[in-house]
Structure 1
Amino acid sequence: MGRIGTIARRTFLIGSAAIAGGVAFGVWRYRTPHANPLLDGLPEGAAALTPYVLITTEAITLITPRADKGQGAVSVQAALIAEELDVDLDQVETDPGPPDPAYYNTALSGDAVPFRSTDDSFLAETARTVMDAPMKFLGIQITGGSTTVPDGYEKLRRAGAVARETLKAAAARLHGVAAADLRTERGAVILPDGARLSYQSLAAAAAATDPVTDVALRAPDQWRLIGKPMQRVDILAKSTGTQSYGIDMALPGMVHAAVRLSPVQGGTVLRHDARAAEQMRGVLRVVPVTGGVGVIADNTWRAMQAAQAITLESDPAPYPADMAGHWQTLSESFTPDRQDSRLRDDGDVDKALAGGADIEIEYRAPYLAHAPLEPVNATVLVTDARVDVWTGTQIPRFVQKNVARIAGVDTARVHLHAQMIGGSFGHRLEDQVVRHATELAMAMPGRPVKLTYSREEDMAHDFPRQIAMARGRGQVKDGRIEAYDLGIAMPSVMASQMGRQGLPVPGPDLQIVAGAWDQPYAVPHYRVTGYRAPELAPVSSWRSVGASSNGFFHDSLLDELIHAAGADPLEERLRLCSHAPSRKVLEAVGEMSGWGSALAPGRGRGVALCLSFSVPCAQVVEVTDTPAGIRIDRVFVAAEVGRVIDPVNFEGLVKGGVIFGLGHAMNCQITYADGATEQRNFDVYQGMRLYQCPEIMVRGLENDDKVRGIGEPPVPPAAPALANAIFVATGRRLREMPFDKFVTFA
């Protein structure tokens, strides 16, 4: 606790120093909203009542700046605005809006401070506020960290309420009545005599009315949308195959491109031979790009075929050429000089383990590809006047900045048209494809250039999930866990990812211990240490980031100690649990799964809990050891999110996270040979197949007073719950992923 306090005080002092020399100005600036970007070039008769609500004479448009990559972000953002604006989702259009500081993410600072998410002390809350200030001043517009709902829950409702009350004020002024005598319903202001004034008809008057910012948000018993099953705004298009993604972009005069990159990540091409490619049908240009060569042709297939015809030679990988070297680097990182953090150090672990440990184990988790269904792509048009970019991205302002730098123009001349994303899992937090597309478009000014990575290039040059290793030991006494000591070694995800954006990551990388150091257990002697390994292959955020591997490490060691103590896996977790909401999710999955009921021989039931992204999520997995291998029968999931916005989408996200976590634990890995990725398509990177998918039961709890996101928290507990169930069914402990190295799955 002393270490946490030291870091927290330092954070507070740094934040205070940042506004020193004028505290009043600093606070004023922090509280002052960014300018409304929708006011630029506003059509005549239109009203941009907030940065999130645009009303013209023809339409009501809700701005949904968090990227939709299949998780329903557009719908949930629109619903939060519509709830207070008094419109239904079938009455509005949605638009991602321009890249702008006004759309900075207010929820990212929560996981950026060294306090447990369960800590609501003054010091913890102050540190979060201090960390939010640079997010705002820098305009960090990012979709990630399961923050879309926490970021927008109050902010977007307030935007809708401000727009609603401003429209009422405009109607009151036009008709000489008191605003208090007006009400709203389905996109109209209702006058005392019952006359309906559509929002569109009031747009011009509202634009000339000062915004009404003193608004009260409606109580839950007045909600029409929040908490009710909704039909997502994109469901019809996706169900009929008419949804447009970035890969579907078609523009007049457009040409197509593909790339052939260095076989190694970050490698430099020393020389290449494109003579054969240049002679191929449809090829227009062969253009060097950063790290490789690009081909521009009259269609995508011809561009990809020509790119494959290019031979190139690059320098060696800047990381170990094969996997033995990667694992060896991690193994050598458990040293005091590589210690990155020790945020959890309760009791006296060294004294408790002085006489020896009852359990001493090593765990491993491999690199993993993002591998979304839509290969990354970007379309760029460079003209003398401006640069236009069409792509799906989670980092629009970084994209805008990098395109401006490459094209040599001011950022104001870069116009980003954000597209729907066909899956990401963190992949679209990178913008390498946009940088390459910009380099290619500069060779073809005046013509849109659409770059699509082949599946092979996409997977070979993905920035994968971090490789990680953990070493755990512990002691049991009188049927209970007495001491728990976990060390985790991995390269810094944040330093790798942010380094590609030219941003430093000062201090410890909390992702090294995320999903481990802050778990809600009160073990008498309890320590979690993070070791920052040297940089290996470049890595990036992968769905649930550090917790994706640490959930497996932490809960697996816990389960092994519980077994050594001879205790019941669920009962001992409940006994140790020191966080009421986490206890309730454990109780919920126990009740849902009928924990304690008898199982037939060859069947196993495993439980796991991981608190990540401030969400406690518990899972019980049931398996059967069949002659054909391990069959996953059922999964029970409970998660505490404070408020379930849409029960239908909530259930879908949880089930998707479970399948994602189980499938990758079963059989997925990225390995390197001669510095190059060995897995380059889905035939060798399968995940869970349809016939292997279990029945999944979901329960969302609403006991906390803070609203959280659910996109990532179901992933971390899936692997340990599966491993724990397999142990019960077979007696075999799985301590390394993927599990198919050791067992067969039916």
Structure 2
Amino acid sequence: MRVTPHSMERVVSRRDFLRAGLSVGIAASGGLLLGVSFNARSDGGPAPASVIAGDGSLQIPPGEFAPNAFIRIDPDGNVALVVSKVEMGQGVYTSIPMLLAEELEVPLERVKVEHAPPDAKLYADALLGQQATGGSLSIRAMWEPMRRAGAAARMLLISAAAQQWQVDPASCVARNATVTHTASGRTLGYGELAPHAAALPVDANLLKTVTLKKPQAFTLIGTPRKRLDSPEKVNGVARFGIDVQMPGMRVAMVVHCPVIGGKLARVDDRVALAQPGVRQVVKLDNAVAVVADHTWAAKRGASALVIEWHEGANAHLTSAMLFDDLRRASEQPGAAARTDGDVDAGFKAAAQKLDAVYQQPFLAHATMEPMNCTVHVSGDQCEIWIGTQVPTRVVDVAVKVTGLPAEKIVVHNFLIGGGFGRRLESDVAAQAVAIGKQVDGPVKVMWSREEDIQHDMFRPCYYDRVAAGLDANGKPVAWTHRIAGSSIVARWFPAWFQKGIDPDVIEVAAALPYAIHSQRIDYVRQEPRGIPTAFWRGVGPTRGTFVVESFVDELAHQAKADPVEYRRALLGNTPRARNVLDVAARAAGWGTALPQGKGRGVSVMHAFGSFFCMIADVDVKDGDVRVERVVCAVDCGHVVNPNTIEAQVEGGAIFGITATLWGEITLKDGRVEQTNFTDYRVMRINEAPRIQTIIVRSDEDPGGIGEPGTSAVIPAITNAIFAATGTRIRRLPVGDQLHSGQTA
């Protein structure tokens, strides 16, 4: 498949989400161009069709909704699909075409994917409210609209064939990009029919009224398919942002102030400028960039800079100070996220009480592809080449930095070598444009791995206080949970931050799958002294699942109950959660004896619309933990591509294991202490466990899959460590706690 660069969840009713419009036109090639509007109208009226000109360009009526997906069928019958989601390893450039191909009745291999250009009017995600890829929402957002688009196109092609043959469309069927008249056996290919289909009058309600296949009729959806983008990634043809090359392009390496929030005072660049290949030094507010003919020259020049910094207010900041801030904040009542029953009465009547404090550190994203952005600012235009999860936000920052209107900003989006939420931020693009304004010609701005880790937009650190009252049988009758930490949502999308509640932070914590009558969950926003925070592969569920599932395990131990049976007894109102628990427990051999030093732990999670149960086996020797096996049962609703499910569970689990055992960003004197993979460890191949993924059949709408594996595996490991050693892990990462005996 050739992928060509084109030159958090808000509440939406199902009815509004399915409201859609359709437009048809003739592409410049003479083929069929189908536009689909997936966005809901705020006035509740029907979504109008957009007008597509003969040259294939969009003519968008003022105030009307425009398409957010386009299907082009050329005269050879090949299908081009403009995808508004970005491929960053999660498999959407295979799964989304599968949705279209199923209903359109074309072989998957004939669907070619193009990156969508930045345009919120055309490509905004109805669930996110903007053009973005994240939150494990891609398939959830596209599941029905993309199938409807394929079915509508198929109906138009059948109608075009029936008109040519002067027969009833009901007597025709579409298969393998061909329409056949069943009575006579006559056939016409999609390529031949495309111009005729484009000329047909179209009911704007077609998308809403089109009949979709029943799941039992699927021939593609639900079947294992190889990734369409894998061959080009293997042979090197696939292009990522860091691969951009063009005539006259310079390379800039950036050096930031080592103290977070510090500023540039002065720089002696004489030695740097004397390095062969170095062309200029660009000074920014908090950084210096060396611009050179190639990467090595830029690195040499950056190393030769002599810089004096104004370190600012954070010059003496430490991790201990930040956690002390969180501790003090957690002693105050927060904004109420959930209040059920009479919590105080529940605790008063409880036979036993248990409370705990959990801490989680800053985390870096450490993506395989370090941060980079290529720009060319020339006269009245700014051109950007980048791999980003938020192309429209890149346009916005370029407008702010250059002062140019949005129509003068051109963004070329690329495949992403790891996002994990880091590329939901546009700070690197803003910096690159600021540098590009001072460079004559295109310049690729790159961060070294050290700059990438030390100046990341970090996953926040958190401090959680949890307490429960148990009855005489050890069952929880009262539960309180106070969360103290940063709000990413308040900065990233302020409209979602209402009444002091960050909906991401409280996810999982405020929607327990367990039946507990009296609950009180509140949130205290405490920002970490000028340190930027950002999403990190499922922030709220990752943070919340560790706390909830660790504490439930503590309650089971307090009640002298088996951890699986204890959970099962509380999941009567959540049958999907109980089912994955049962499936995973059977597959993992729960209850069988393990040798000394080995332990088995469990966690259950409902987040991102999916239900997960993970069971981990660990071996602890001399304080070192090795995860030997992970068994995962997942109910994510209808499955599009089971290969993708397995890959995302495996990748997510490894990402989560890495964070559990070693992941931690610490500060001393305002500086991040970690520099590279030598001290910000990532799991190595020889350390990876056996991972078994069991997909539970479900007829529910699809749930997310990219982030749940990371969230669910963390407490499964820490609970397994307790089973092996008797040491309860309440602070991440595990690190040297088993050596020192510290647990909090």
Per the TM superposition, whether the score is higher than 0.5 is: yes
Match of 1:672 among 659, 667, 675: 667
Instruction: Describe how 1:81-96 pairs up with structure 2 within 5 A.
Output: 81-96=100-115
Provide the residue aligned with 2:361 in structure 1. 366
Secondary structure of the residue aligned to 1:363 is strand
- Larger CA deviation: 279-288 vs 513-522: 279-288
**In structure 1, what is the equivalent of residue 523 of structure 2?**
530
Greater shift, 613-622 or 664-673, is seen at: 613-622
Gaps of 5+ in 2: 1-10, 17-39, 59-65
> Aligned runs of 1:241-256 on 2, under 5 Å?
241-256=236-251
Alignment of 1:207-286 (within 5 A): 207-211=198-202, 213=206, 214-286=209-281
1:671, CA displacement in angstroms? 0.8
Question: Within 1, Cα distance between the matches of 2:365 and 2:348?
Answer: 40
Structure 1: gaps of 5 or more residues? 1-9, 16-24, 109-134
Alpha carbons of 1:288 and 1:34: their partners in 2 closer, same or farther (altered >3 Å)? Answer: farther
Aligned partners of 1:573, 1:541: CA distance in 2, in Å?
Answer: 29
CA distance in 2, matches of 1:63, 1:684: 41
Q: Secondary structure at the match of 1:717?
A: helix
SS in 2 for 1:526: strand
Determine what percentage of the aligned residue pairs are the same residue: 33
Q: Is the 8 A contact 2:68 2:84 kept in 1?
A: no
Find the partner of 2:127 among 107, 115, 118.
107
**Equivalent residue for 2:134, pick from 131, 135, 144:** 144
Shift, 1:727, TM fit: 0.8
CA contact (8 A) 1:588 1:638 kept: yes
Q: CA deviation at 1:26?
A: 6.2
- Residue 409 of structure 2 is matched in structure 1 by 414
Letter in 1 for 2:555: L
- Counterpart pick for 2:325 among 329, 334, 351: 329
Q: State the TM-score, normalizing by the size of structure 1.
A: 0.86
**Matching residue of 1:121:** none
More divergent stretch after superposition (347-356 vs 380-389): 347-356
Following superposition of structure 1 onto structure 2, how do residues 286-685 of structure 1 map, counting pairs within 5 Å?
286-310=281-305, 311-317=307-313, 321-336=317-332, 339-349=334-344, 351-353=346-348, 358-384=353-379, 386-445=381-440, 447-482=441-476, 483-498=478-493, 505-507=497-499, 508-536=501-529, 537-577=531-571, 578-626=573-621, 629-685=624-680
Q: Deviations over 1:605-654 (max 9, x none)?
A: 11111222222211111122335733322111112211111111111101
CA shift for structure 1 position 497: 3.4
Give the 3 Å change call, closer, same or farther, for CA 289–498 of structure 1 in structure 2: farther
SS at match of 2:429: helix
2:188 corresponds to: 197
Amino acid aligned to 2:198? A
| C-alpha distance in structure 1 between counterparts of 2:138 and 2:647, whole Å | 16
Superimposed CA distance per residue, residues 495-532 of structure 1 (whole angstroms, 9 cap, x where no aligned partner): 24347xxx784431122222212111112433322221
Aligned partners of 2:350 and 2:469 also within 8 Å: no
- Of residues 722-731 and 300-309 in structure 1, the stretch that sits farther from structure 2 once superposed is 300-309
Deviations 1:453-494 (A, max 9, x none): 111111111101110011122233333233332221111121
The structure-2 alpha-carbon separation of the partners of 1:286 and 1:211, relative to structure 1 and needing over 3 Å to count, comes to farther
Corresponding residue number in structure 2 for 1:185: 175
Equivalents in 2 of 1:36, 1:655: separation in Å?
44
Mapped to 1, the partners of 2:713 and 2:195 lie a distance apart of 53
Residues 60 and 200 of structure 1 are in contact (CA less than 8 Å); yes or no, is this contact kept in structure 2?
A: no
Letter of the aligned partner of 1:268 in structure 2? K
Alignment partner, residue 62 of structure 2: none
Give me the whole-angstrom Cα distance separating, in 2, the residues matched to 1:80 and 1:362: 45
- Alpha-carbon distance, 1:31 to partner: 4.2
Is the contact between residue 658 and residue 682 of structure 2 (CA under 8 Å) also seen in structure 1? yes
> How far apart, in 2, do the equivalents of 1:172 and 1:386 lie?
49
Over 3 Å counting, the alpha-carbon distance change for 1:452 and 1:582 in structure 2 is same
Q: CA deviation at 1:315?
A: 3.6
Match of 1:714, SS? helix
Q: CA deviation at 1:50?
A: 8.0
Please report the TM-score for the alignment, with normalisation by the length of structure 2.
Answer: 0.87
AA of the residue aligned to 1:316: G
* Larger relative helix fraction: 1
Q: CA deviation at 1:725?
A: 0.8
Q: Which residue identity is paired with 2:151?
A: A
Residue identity matched to 1:180: A
SS of 2:587's partner is: helix
Q: Distance in 2 between matches of 1:466 and 1:486?
A: 18
**1:231-254 C-alpha deviation (Å, 9 max, x unpaired):** 111121223343221111112222
CA distance in 2, matches of 1:34, 1:740: 57
1:39–1:392 distance in 2 versus 1, CA, 3 Å: farther
The alpha-carbon distance between structure 1 residues 93 and 606, as it changes in their structure 2 partners (threshold 3 A), is same
Cα distance, 1:597 vs structure 2: 2.0
- CA distance 1:33–1:94, change in 2 (3 Å): farther
Q: Is the 8 A contact 1:606 1:622 kept in 2?
A: yes
